[in-house]
Amino acid sequence: METLSFHYPEALLPVARRAQVGVVGSGDLEILLEPSGPGGARVMVSTAVEGHGEVWRAVLDRFFSRYQGAVAIEINDNGATPGVVALRLAQAVERLTP
């Protein structure tokens, strides 16, 4: 198990709601997304698979290149592939809009 954290200071658009998607099942992950305090977006990742920090950075960099919400994201991962992570992130953002 490994814990990683990321910070995106430029993601400053205010967010009013929160969303939870996914399950910590095999090859899947849980995402909790909620408004963050000042200072942009923060991501905390707990993952069962060690040694893939660069892949997580790449997936999250791509996500925040298109999404500017000031969110605190908690990810609890059980070996999801980058594609699944990207889809779950998109699903979480989708849930923010009523």
Partner 1 sequence: MNEPLPDENVHRRWLARASFVELNARDRARALLDPGTFRELLGPFDRVRSPWLPPQGIVAQSDDGTVIARGRLAGSAALVIAIEGAFQGGSIGEVGAAKIAAALDLALTDCQRGRLIYPVLILETGGVRLQEANLGLAGVAEIHAALLALRAHVPVVAVVAGLIGCFGGMAIAAGLCSWVIATRQGRLGLNGPEVIEEEAGLAEFDARDRQLVWSVTGGASRRASGFVDELVEDDCEPIAKMIGRAWARGVPRIHASERVAPMQHLVASLGAQGIIDPNAIRTALGDRSIP
Length, in residues, of the chain: 98
Choose, by CB under 8 A, the member of 36, 43, 47, 60 that binds partner 1: 47
Helix (H) or strand (E) holding 82: helix 82-96
Choose, by CB under 8 A, the member of 34, 57, 68, 96 that binds partner 1: 34
Choose, by CB under 8 A, the member of 14, 16, 26, 66 that binds partner 1: 26
Angle at 91 between CA 50 and CA 29, to 5 degrees: 25
Choose, by CB under 8 A, the member of 44, 46, 52, 86 that binds partner 1: 46
Contact 15, 30 (CB under 8 A): no
Residues 6+ apart with CB under 8 A from 66: none
The residue (of 1 and 66) whose beta carbon lies closer to partner 1 is 1
Residues near partner 1 (CB under 8 A) are 1, 18, 20, 23-26, 28, 30, 32, 34, 46-48, 74, 76-78
